[in-house]
């Protein structure tokens, strides 16, 4: 009985992850706010169009997806919050990083939805998948 219950729970969780990815994991407003933050805090190194620079990787396109496809949004969040900006790692607030991430995901073809992500823990449920 415990195996059956565990299987049912696993299926429900997988369905929630897929539903989040298909219906949009962030609101349009969140991505717009993230775009402003990105311009202020990230573009100097990563480029205005997320194309990367001499010391920062692109955050859009093939190079982005080769690193982040099939990982959770929380994995990217964790990288940003602990290592960015390089001259002051960890200085960005949780909400700033979430909004910046929403912008980066939008720019990589993930559709917005109606949900606003409030806490980093919610990013564990969002599995990234390269748009086809």
Q: Is the pLDDT of residue 23 over 60?
A: no
Cβ proximity of 76 and 104 under 8 Å: yes
Q: Is the pLDDT of residue 82 over 90?
A: yes
Mean pLDDT of 72-99: 97
Q: What is the dihedral of CA 26, 94, 58, 74, to 10 degrees?
A: -70
Mean pLDDT of 86-106: 97
Q: How confident is the model at residue 1 (pLDDT cuts 50, 70, 90)?
A: low
CATH number at 102 reads 1.10.760.10
Domain that holds residue 56: 2-125
Cβ proximity of 107 and 20 under 8 Å: no
Q: How confident is the model at residue 25 (pLDDT cuts 50, 70, 90)?
A: confident
Number of domains in the chain: 1
Is residue 132 included in any domain, yes or no? no
Q: How confident is the model at residue 132 (pLDDT cuts 50, 70, 90)?
A: confident
Please state, in angstroms and rounded to a whole number, the distance separating the CA atoms of residues 33 and 118: 13
Is residue 26 included in any domain, yes or no? yes
pLDDT at 24: 82
Q: Is the pLDDT of residue 124 over 60?
A: yes
pLDDT at 3: 60
Question: What are the structure tokens assigned to 9, written together?
Answer: 């729970």
| Burial of 102 per CB tally in 10 Å (0-12, 13-18, 19+) | buried
């Amino acid at each position: 009985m415990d195996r059956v219950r565990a299987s049912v729970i696993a299926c429900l969780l997988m369905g929630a992850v897929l539903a989040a990815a298909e219906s949009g994991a962030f609101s349009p407003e969140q991505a717009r706010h993230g775009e402003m933050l990105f311009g202020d805090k990230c573009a100097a190194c990563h480029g205005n169009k997320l194309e990367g620079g001499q010391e920062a990787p692109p955050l859009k396109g093939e190079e982005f997806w080769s690193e982040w496809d099939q990982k959770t949004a929380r994995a990217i969040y964790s990288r940003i919050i602990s290592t960015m900006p390089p001259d002051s790692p960890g200085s960005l607030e949780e909400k700033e990083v979430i909004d910046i991430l929403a912008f980066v995901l939008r720019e990589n073809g993930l559709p917005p939805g109606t949900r606003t992500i409030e806490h980093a823990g919610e990013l564990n449920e969002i599995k990234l998948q390269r748009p086809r």
